[in-house]
Amino acid sequence: MFKNSSKLLFFLTLIGGTLITISSNSWLGAWMGLEINLLSFIPLMMDTNNLMATEASLKYFLTQALASSMLLFFIIFMIMNYNLLNTPNLMNYNVMILLSLLLKAGAAPFHFWFPGVMEGLSWTSNLILMIWQKLAPMVLISYCFNSQIFMIIILTSIMIGSLGGLNQTSLRKLMAFSSIGHIGWMMAAILVSDSLFLMYFCMYSLLTFSIVLMFISFKLFHINQVMSLSMNFVYIKYFLMLNFLSLGGLPPFLGFLPKWLVIQSLVTENYLFLMTAMVVLTMITLYFYIRLCYSTFMLNHSKISWNVKFNYKTSTMITNLFFSFMSVTGLIFINMFYAFM
């Protein structure tokens, strides 16, 4: 990724922009951090070996510029209204600021740009887009709490994330719709507490990183490539499928833990209808993950009959297995840890 010093500089300012946003005590400071983050990520998206990267970066820039201009517009109006009137009604401005932040985060129904941008980027840029670029908007969204709008966005995001991934053959679009679904679960965690959201975000980042690391190692971009993956790496194939199930939230894998805590917290707060709808819609996501695993091992089992030397570094293999082991067995060890406390 860091082929020259400018890439490293933009990566550091990317991190700095997010840190400015989440540590700012004013909306203008948060907007400034988002702009630094945006202008730092655009050069990182560019890739001379990928012809679609320019189109994806242009889509991303136009969408984010629209969301940033909306955010700045409503922030200025809110400040002007607050200075002119001592007791203004800020609820309407909070709603508009929330909608602009949802557009920046790629939550449904403002997700139209997200799968297209993901399809045109490399896996390294996609990893940043799915994890780090979500952090600052989601933290700002937690400041604009509105339970009615939150419930609508949660159900819409999980429904779009589940139904959108059904007929996908591209792994990048599959991960994009999976990310949209997880945004719904993160917003449900925000309904309960910020600490629960932070825990869910960390777990989601770990699971996404472990899967994308395998995609980068084997240069996988489509489902048929996963199916025809050499059986010389059968353990990698097993761990990749188990990581998918963990990302979908199937017990007894680690991905079930944050969903378990969110479900328990929603029941405690009496969001029973919301919790039931979320669980039912997430079953669709598990369906196409299980369908992918079944097809990979049962219907399209291939093994080459000649000897091929694979250029696969031992350090990369150990890293893949380490994160996969954490994803698959993490819930068991966490339960054992709490049992002995």
- Is pLDDT above 80 for 239? yes
Q: What is the pLDDT of residues 100-127, one digit of tens each?
A: 999 999 998 999 999 999 999 999 999 9
> pLDDT (tens digit, 9 = 90+) per residue, 300-337?
555 555 545 555 566 677 777 777 878 877 877 777 76
Overall average pLDDT of the 40-46 stretch: 91
**Dihedrals phi, psi of 255, to nearest 5 degrees:** -65, -15
In the chain, the amino acid numbered 222 is H
Reported as a single tens digit per residue, the pLDDT across 49-59 is 778 888 999 99
What b/e readout covers 263-272, taking b as 16+ CB neighbours within 10 angstroms? bebbeeeebe
d(CA 38, CA 187) in angstroms, rounded, equals 22
Tell me the angle at which helices 272-294 and 171-192 cross, rounded to the nearest 10 degrees.
160
pLDDT tens-digit profile of 147-169? 889 999 999 999 999 999 888 88
- SS3 state of residue 144: coil
CA distance 322 to 317: 9
pLDDT at position 103 is 94
| pLDDT for 129 | 95
Question: What is the rounded average pLDDT of the residues 256-284?
Answer: 93
Percent of the chain with pLDDT over 90: 55
* pLDDT above 80: residue 26: yes
pLDDT, position 322: 77
Domain segments of the chain as ranges: 5-339
pLDDT band at residue 40 under the 50/70/90 scheme: very high
pLDDT (mean) for 266-292: 91
pLDDT, averaged across the chain: 86
pLDDT at position 85, please?
A: 63
Per residue in 6-15, pLDDT tens?
888 999 999 9
